Structure 1
């Protein structure tokens, strides 16, 4: 990840929209960043917003979005409201000339996400997704290793995100948990490798009216495969991912603070036909290697702090953020295709090459 630029001479005026679950985290990090000056906190519940800020804050509180967008000192907004409200709020902000950061997912549907991406591009404004996990030290290192070819060609990815979680009223487990894993996959895949199709299977064992357990399978353009398990019903919490390459395999255990990443020089080697004698060509030779395990050191740092710095960099330089609107759109396309597959009993749904490129 490129280092953040020096803080501008004049801090970027920022407003946070939404003071519920995620809004307070954004408020704290924007207030701590020298690149920003938090000017407004907007929420339908003014008392809740005031409690988030505390009694001595000079940040203004309002229940009216129009009041925020009319302020010429507000250069950018950060939206932490339900997904169904992202389109109208973000569109209004873009049309008011404000840069926009949106909590995941980018929008409620792919079509709505496309509207936001097109609007931002037309106006030359930054549109960024708060794919927070992508800015964790572990995921940034995974991206670095994959992009540098340290694991070799990626053969498989197996991700597990399960817990005894809050069963949502309006979305299934795929839309609740899988955006994290899909955004990470989009972020770390080596250049030229992309998902080409997705199949989803799910179950509702408790009669919630929506899938509470689901498995997603993604075909990758290099012939590899990615598998995602999301689950609200597990009595234990698991956050792991395995990235299997032709050279090495990386294991990420997000719940193990003493060793989040482990790189294994262990795997399977297959002799290519060119290396074999004519009479051996029919039998591919397989050998197993068992080398060292290395645990890369990570500089622990709050992911949101890094994300806020990336937002400032994108606004200041005009360059796309690492998790820009198009990244959010790619995640939405997979989610929407997974929903179709889920409804059809696991049909493999092809993804649009133009959008995934």
Structure 2
């Protein structure tokens, strides 16, 4: 029998979780502060609509997916955990590192599965890219850059960095296998007081470097992650059709008579399985509930992403926390 999962939050992304969990035979209930919205989804998918105040303590619910505005994630995740539920919390899991650490600590104390919704970690093209990196197909990885651009969405509580960057940061961390030792961020607010553009530059203790550019005020869509190695470069471009989402560019650079020379091959498109990342993510969540296995995108990763978001923010308070983060990383590196 599949775990019985309730989705809390029936907005845009919550509705995707609802449909996908229903297709996997695991959707048991929905819940939302908008009772009429929850009842509509419940009727559509033939499940129960549970009032928000009751869903945390229902014994017939094994786990919860939280797809709420991020300022409500920490409080409700803790309520779910203390109610005996395993949880998948959408990104970001909190608006500050302290709340995120508290969520993860309480989940461990209660021995509950805690997973963060970094859905692109479950994209078949990224999974294949990570496999190629780990096999050494690109040589030694030196640089990673990610561009996530488009028009909208505009939020009252989160800027372009906090809304768009977590997915790319989770992929970058999966490749680097460590947190950055130096972080520098810049942002620009055009529409209101929250940044519509964000640049984050990172240095890692293992010598890798990376930058990320996120924009919610751009005339064209770009969803591209590029990994530069000493033997080849790989590009995961999610705007491209399936047959062209992952490309490898092999090259050589050398000196000849004090002059630089290079050769570059045409891109080789790597076949990847056509599958929905959200389906694979939720399948992994259900697997972890059943086996008690640690999720691929666990609480530690969620906290690491939040540290970078905080350090890369342009606000004064975030800069103070960034200094503490960098000091922590330096102490860890010395150990």
TM-score of the two chains, using structure 2 as the length reference: 0.90
CA RMSD, aligned part only?
A: 2.5
Residue matched to 1:7 = none
Structure 1 position 99 matched with structure 2 position 86: yes
Q: Say which structure is richer in helix.
A: 2
Task: Give the distance between the partners of 1:63 and 1:105, measured in 2 at CA.
Answer: 24
Residue matched to 1:81 = 68
Given candidates 268, 274, 298, the residue that maps to 2:253 is 268
Task: Give the distance between the partners of 2:154 and 2:252, measured in 1 at CA.
Answer: 38
Task: Give the distance between the partners of 2:204 and 2:51, measured in 1 at CA.
Answer: 45
How many residues are treated as equivalent by the alignment? 328
Greater C-alpha radius of gyration: 1
Task: Give the distance between the partners of 1:13 and 1:39, measured in 2 at CA.
Answer: 5
Residue matched to 2:153 = 166
Residue matched to 2:39 = 50
Deviation of residue 291 (structure 1)?
A: 3.4
Deviation of residue 85 (structure 1)?
A: 0.8
Q: How does 1:26-175 map to 2 (within 5 A)?
A: 26-34=17-25, 36=26, 38-55=27-44, 57-65=45-53, 67-175=54-162
Residue matched to 2:275 = 301
Q: Is the 8 A contact 1:156 1:244 kept in 2?
A: yes
Task: Give the distance between the partners of 2:289 and 2:125, measured in 1 at CA.
Answer: 25
Given candidates 288, 310, 323, the residue that maps to 1:314 is 288
Task: Tell me the SS of whatever aligns to 2:194.
Answer: coil
Q: Is the 8 A contact 1:187 1:323 kept in 2?
A: no
Q: Is the 8 A contact 2:187 2:313 kept in 1?
A: no
Q: Could you give the per-residue CA deviations for residues 290-317 of structure 1, whole angstroms, max 9, x where no partner exists?
A: 2353110011101111001110121122
TM-score of the two chains, using structure 1 as the length reference: 0.85
Task: Give the distance between the partners of 2:154 and 2:4, measured in 1 at CA.
Answer: 37
